[in-house]
Structure 1
Amino acid sequence: MRRTPSYGRHRNSSSDARSTPDRFPYSPTPSSYSDASTARRSTSGQSAVAVAARSVVGVFVGCFTPPETKSSASFGDSGEFRPHSVISDASGAGSERRRSSGSSRGAYASSNNSRRERQAGCVKFTMDEIYKATNNFSPSAKIGQGGFGIVYKGRLEDGTFVAIKRAKKSVYDKHLGVEFQSEIQMLSQVEHLSLVKFYGYVEYEDEKVVVVEYVPNGTLREHLDCLRGNILDLGARLDIAIDVAHGVTYLHMYTDHPIIHRDIKSSNILLTENFRAKVADFGFARLAADSDSGATHVSTQVKGTAGYLDPEYLRTYQLTDKSDVYSFGVLLVELVTGRRPIEPKRELKERITAKWAMKKFSDGDALLILDPRLEKSAANNLAIEKILELSLQCLAQRRQHRPSMKRCAEILWSIRKDYKEISVPDFRSSSTRSQRSTLTE
């Protein structure tokens, strides 16, 4: 039985919970935190599924496609298509209001020879330690590359394996420096099992390095593309969605000040060997509006990834936690279909995956959008309908019509519970048929 992660756990030095890293101009997408895969866990459910208002579909389908935006270079590890990241906010990260933690987490290392201070989750490493961990940034330690730098697998003195992101010196500028500091500041505030753990950083002369948890089983996108062996069954995909929902709920509700991730997508979801999902990459994260002052949103220029961007945020420049909910709705469609949010090689009506999927769903053809590598079983068929109902709610054009991330987690637990209950008889029936076939041979 899978244990529900606790939302309200805050940082302490002995905690086993997690943190977050990995994306934006200096962050290569965490596409190659490689290794092996193993068993899958099960979950139990809670809450009933809220039935989506299908009347929203007409408005959604007509207004779905986001407008053209300027985007950065692709962060892909190869020549395959990967949605570009939109980076039109030149200074927004620097103007965020942040609550002081009362500790030295906000300070940045300035001496290459200083010993690291063993604060929980925010260690000031030295470059000597980074060189030693990566064998002087050996090419054999390289596990990923993106638009701003390279990710290496490293090993600390205590034996801990880590992912070390080293920024390219040639692309430093004031804007990217602000985002580096923004990511460090955000990472030092969060700790949850479904968020990638932050170990520390180095900012020394022309070096900018972030040290985060090494997650060995690659990204969700790699698994959906079948680049890592076995196909993820629908039960595994539901568990991943639940993990992501828990992690983002923690950001929205249980940190000292609510945080909006702003870049929820499959290539920012890392998987452990046991297929626990961890949300990574806080380069675009922002503190949410201060509700105590009566504010309802943060006004900021648009950042995020094409295909996942909230259309209301695109139109109004008003950022809220419901923008993460919208991106999560796109992620749910990815999990069901196996497709990327934007499929430029497909015919025009299928290029925007969520728009195409919601149209099929509204027409009563939900099963036609199921990932062809998944079995059409009674359990899968029921789960797909319910997941798409939740997707429809998340993808509502107006933020007030979208559920909270906490509500998404509750609905997904309920779907998972029903899925497990139906899957057991399906499995027994399949086993009986197999035995009968063997006896008749």
Structure 2
Amino acid sequence: MRSPATPLGDRSPVDGVRRSGDIWDVSRSSASSGSSAGGFSSSSSSRNPVRIAARAITSCFGSHDGGLPPSADDSEEFKPPSLTPSVSTQGSSHGSLQGSRPRGMGIYSNGNNPSRSEPGGIRLSIAEIMKATKNFSPSLKIGQGGSGTVYRARLDDGTVVAVKRAKKNTHNSHLNAEFQNEIQTLACIEHLNLVRLHGYLEHQDERIVIVEYVSNGTLREHLDCQRGQILDLATRLDIAIDVAHAITYLHVYSDNPIIHRDIKSSNILLTDNLRAKVADFGFARLFVMDSDVTHISTQVKGTAGYLDPEYLRTYQLTEKSDVYSFGVLLVELVSGRRPIEPRRELTERLTPKWAMKRFTEGNGIQTLDPNLKPSLATSFAVEKILELALLCLAPTKTSRPSMRRCAEILWMVRKDYREFLSSHPLSRHKN
């Protein structure tokens, strides 16, 4: 097992205890025709590799060979601590799942908190689930997706959980595979920024997953202004870092690398303290360690607008496919727009392509969410975030940074952004 990284920055870990409404939204597509990499232009020399990349922008988004900026502060780098031994735990009632979980301290685990049950440790009968959901009452329904329905439930001990009831379709092997895949993946991961498995149940034709209920809806709902207060840029940057930590854990610090395959804003849940948790592991793939294997050949699954174009073309899934989706997410955080905006004029329908073109032309600030006020500090942060998005959106996996590197860069952006606000108080605006 590999050691996790230590927490960075000064945010306090806060666990969510509720769940959002559309977490299980699975409106996925196996095809995407236009989301690929773009370019970047700045005041730097014309020999800047990222600027060279910008020149390659065409209707197909040209590739680039740009590198990443070096880390500027050792205190902001990841420094893995020691780990306590792994623990093997069996899944909940009527299941036969076993998984080994990393038990590191800090942001990558809950540590040794005796008040929390072991992940997957809640055992419930079908009668208890029916009672907790009031026979799957429509009044407790909080989400509907292609693979099932999610209900809010309160257990006898007062714990509030989300109960995902898979669709009853014995002829659909894909739905059953997603159910098995989700519980097997959730059972072997534990991280502050990943939803927590409480248990699961298979009873006759019922397939149920019980997970933590995250309180404050999805990131997409917040970007669509459906949750009241608008997320300011600093909070959006914090959310990007939380998500980067979660994916880094999946890729690097789980017992075997896990590729999520469906990183998107509607799968990012927010707690009351606006901490992000990545959810929905129905499409996740476990990457068994083998020095001779660098990819998984598999059927394309994901969501239109977030899909890695190289994965679409070759059917070869790698960790860099999640990096591409993360690049799309960064553009969403800056612009507030969805990856595909069919009602906009033709040149703006594919949000990543539109944003990268603006960035290439030196007008990155024009992509800023209209709900946010521009300022010197905002312009600085937007340029840095879009620069990273460009690298993540490279059309080939070899040109994209690792998720660990993305997290390091975002930490430095946040550090510099805070310092900029401190040294330029007039540039601060309340959004």
SS in 1 for 2:51: coil
Cα offset, 1:173, TM superposition: 1.9
CA distance in 2, matches of 1:371, 1:23: 24
1:161 aligned residue:
160
1:222 aligned residue:
221
The residue type equivalent to 2:95 in the other structure is: A
| Alignment check: 8 A CA contact 2:24 2:143 kept | yes
Deviates more, 1:366-375 or 1:169-178: 169-178
Cα offset, 1:207, TM superposition: 0.7
Q: What does the per-residue CA deviation read over 1:222-247, in whole Å, with 9 as the maximum and x for residues that have no partner?
A: 00000111110000000000000000
Q: In the TM superposition, what are the counterparts of 1:422-433 in structure 2 within 5 Å?
A: 422-427=420-425
Q: In the TM superposition, what are the counterparts of 1:37-116 in structure 2 within 5 Å?
A: 53-59=50-56, 61-64=58-61, 104-105=90-91, 108-109=94-95
Q: In the TM superposition, what are the counterparts of 1:34-433 in structure 2 within 5 Å?
A: 53-59=50-56, 61-64=58-61, 104-105=90-91, 108-109=94-95, 120-170=119-169, 173-288=172-287, 290=289, 292-427=290-425
Cα offset, 1:54, TM superposition: 2.5
The residue type equivalent to 2:226 in the other structure is: L
Cα offset, 1:30, TM superposition: 8.9
CA distance in 2, matches of 1:422, 1:8: 25
CA distance in 1, matches of 2:49, 2:328: 15
Pair 227,61 (structure 1): closer, same or farther in 2 beyond 3 Å: farther
Cα offset, 1:103, TM superposition: 5.2
CA distance in 2, matches of 1:132, 1:324: 38
The residue type equivalent to 1:411 in the other structure is: I
CA distance in 2, matches of 1:250, 1:423: 30
**TM-score (normalizing by structure 2):** 0.76
Cα offset, 1:254, TM superposition: 0.5
The residue type equivalent to 1:301 in the other structure is: Q
Pair 103,163 (structure 1): closer, same or farther in 2 beyond 3 Å: closer
Cα offset, 1:6, TM superposition: 5.6
| Alignment check: 8 A CA contact 1:56 1:396 kept | no
SS in 1 for 2:228: coil
| Alignment check: 8 A CA contact 2:92 2:200 kept | no
Pair 122,64 (structure 1): closer, same or farther in 2 beyond 3 Å: farther
CA distance in 2, matches of 1:263, 1:23: 17
2:35 aligned residue:
none
| Alignment check: 8 A CA contact 1:151 1:165 kept | yes
**TM-score (normalizing by structure 1):** 0.75
| Alignment check: 8 A CA contact 1:109 1:124 kept | no
Q: What does the per-residue CA deviation read over 1:388-408, in whole Å, with 9 as the maximum and x for residues that have no partner?
A: 000000011111111010000
The residue type equivalent to 2:157 in the other structure is: D
| Alignment check: 8 A CA contact 1:60 1:396 kept | no
Percent of pairs with identical residues: 61
| Alignment check: 8 A CA contact 1:166 1:207 kept | yes
SS in 2 for 1:190: coil
| Alignment check: 8 A CA contact 1:199 1:211 kept | yes
The residue type equivalent to 1:190 in the other structure is: I
RMSD across aligned positions (CA): 3.1
CA distance in 2, matches of 1:425, 1:128: 60
SS in 2 for 1:120: coil
Pair 224,148 (structure 1): closer, same or farther in 2 beyond 3 Å: same
| Alignment check: 8 A CA contact 2:330 2:385 kept | yes
| Alignment check: 8 A CA contact 2:132 2:155 kept | yes
Q: What does the per-residue CA deviation read over 1:37-79, in whole Å, with 9 as the maximum and x for residues that have no partner?
A: xxxxxxxxxxxxxx871322344543259xxxxxxxxxxxxxx
| Alignment check: 8 A CA contact 2:339 2:351 kept | yes
CA distance in 1, matches of 2:233, 2:412: 15
Pair 196,60 (structure 1): closer, same or farther in 2 beyond 3 Å: farther
Cα offset, 1:151, TM superposition: 1.1
Cα offset, 1:109, TM superposition: 3.1
The residue type equivalent to 2:52 in the other structure is: S
Cα offset, 1:424, TM superposition: 3.2
CA distance in 1, matches of 2:172, 2:15: 34
| Alignment check: 8 A CA contact 1:106 1:185 kept | no
| Alignment check: 8 A CA contact 1:350 1:356 kept | yes
CA distance in 2, matches of 1:357, 1:344: 15
Deviates more, 1:254-263 or 1:413-422: 413-422
CA distance in 2, matches of 1:18, 1:255: 22
CA distance in 1, matches of 2:25, 2:313: 27
The residue type equivalent to 2:327 in the other structure is: G
SS in 1 for 2:163: strand
1:437 aligned residue:
none
SS in 2 for 1:416: helix
Give the number of aligned pairs.
358
| Alignment check: 8 A CA contact 1:123 1:199 kept | yes
Uncovered stretches (5+) of structure 2, i.e. residues with no partner: 8-12, 28-47, 63-86, 97-116
2:25 aligned residue:
29
SS in 2 for 1:185: helix
Pair 396,22 (structure 1): closer, same or farther in 2 beyond 3 Å: farther
Cα offset, 1:269, TM superposition: 0.1
CA distance in 1, matches of 2:218, 2:181: 23
